[in-house]
Chains A and B, each alone.
Chain A
Amino acid sequence: MTVSIIRFGGSNCDRDAERALEHLGIDAEIVWHEDGLPEDTTGIVLPGGFSYGDYLRAGAMAARAPIMEEVREAAREGVPVLGVCNGAQVGCESSLTEGAFTTNESARFQCEPVYVRVERDDTPWTRAYDEGDVLEIPIAHAEGRYEVDDDRLAELEDEDRILFRYCDEDGETTPEANPNGSKHDVAGLVGDRDTVAVLMPHPERVTLPDVGETDGQGVLRGFAYATE
């Protein structure tokens, strides 16, 4: 299997994702978006960064690049897709997942470790954890506040689409533990299928033991679980 990490102009977490996946024994390659999706793609990462300089809205331009039509098609066929940070913004802008990640409540760029609580353990991305587990994963974004209208959010919650919520060290969701003002503390969610997920925190930055903590490994192992 080969996971394609799609590089847009301004992506900058593509190599981190490649190294993290390879550390886990998952074959991965960086794909320039204009080259299209390779035929042997068995997974897709939409990496973090600042695609197209965040012009118009974070992720708006990349979401409308031709390769995203191929990504949506692959997602419909069950190919696992993971969007991280800017990739999460691209995922929402391209309708892979619902809602929008917009300006932080602080109106500032925030780069800090946060805690997230695993809301479901029956998706590929969270199979390595148990529901209620608390992970420490860093964020690095200015537009990470999850926004969707209240009625739709209630439906998404009923459909069990929320994958991670910001929380404190003990797993409690509190206003203080929510770094960006996301509605209902949403840090990540799945799309129409559980094999499509986006999250604002960076699991690839807490995967390599040489760099420190490894709480994010389980998220990336989702590519292996999804294709078992």
Chain B
Amino acid sequence: MTAYTATVTVRLKHGVLDPEAETTARALERLDFELEELRSADQFEIDLEAASAEEAGERADEMAERLLANPTIHDYDVEVDER
């Protein structure tokens, strides 16, 4: 078994309104930063032991499917690194 960290990033699907991101973007503009658009995302770092990076990725994928993301509004991706 090898120690991995699976990083799951969950973001709103393209086209789904993100009021918190819009508010954050406006706040940055009030601080005189120039930007076109701001998107927010949730990131989960999951430490786990698995036989392979592939297996670690599959388990993290299932975690995203069943809880971390809501498929109605979210897309997600999974990255796996050895710890």
Which single member of B16, B18, B19, B66 contacts A106 (CB below 8 Å)?
Answer: B19
Report A-chain residues with C-beta under 8 Å of the C-beta of B18. 103
Whole-angstrom distance between the Cβ of A105 and the nearest chain B Cβ? 6
Chain B positions 50-83 with a Cβ under 8 Å from a chain A Cβ: 66-68, 70, 72-73
Closest chain-B Cβ to A143's Cβ sits at a distance in Å of 10
> In the complex, what residues of B have CB within 8 A of residue A56's CB?
67-68
Given A60-B67, A64-B67, answer yes or no on A99-B72 (Cβ-Cβ < 8 Å): yes
Q: Do A147 and B16 touch across chains, with their CB atoms under 8 A apart?
A: yes
CB pair A100–B73 under 8 Å, yes or no, is yes
A103→B67 contact, CB < 8 A: no
In the complex, the chain A residue whose C-beta lies closest to that of B44 is: A56
Number of interface residues of A (CB under 8 A): 20
Contact bitstring B12-38, A, C-beta under 8 A = 1, else 0: 010011111011000000000000000
**A182 and B17 alpha carbons, distance in the complex (Å):** 10
Residues of A near B70 (CB, < 8 A) are: 57, 60, 93, 100
Q: How far, in angstroms, from A100 to B68 measured CA to CA in the complex?
A: 14
Verify if A217 is at the interface (C-beta below 8 Å from B).
Answer: no
> Given A60-B67, A147-B16, A181-B17, are A107 and B72 neighbors across the interface (CB < 8 Å)?
no
Bound together, the chains give a CA A103 to CA B70 distance in angstroms of 13
* Docked CA distance A111–B76 (Å): 32
In the complex, which residues of chain B have a beta carbon less than 8 angstroms from the beta carbon of A104? Answer: 19
* Residues on B facing A (Cβ under 8 Å): 13, 16-20, 22-23, 66-68, 70, 72-73
What are 27 A-B contacts with C-beta separation under 8 Å? A56-B67, A56-B68, A60-B67, A60-B70, A64-B66, A92-B72, A93-B70, A98-B72, A99-B72, A100-B70, A100-B72, A102-B16, A102-B73, A103-B18, A103-B19, A103-B20, A104-B19, A105-B17, A107-B19, A107-B22, A145-B17, A145-B19, A147-B16, A147-B72, A147-B73, A181-B17, A181-B19
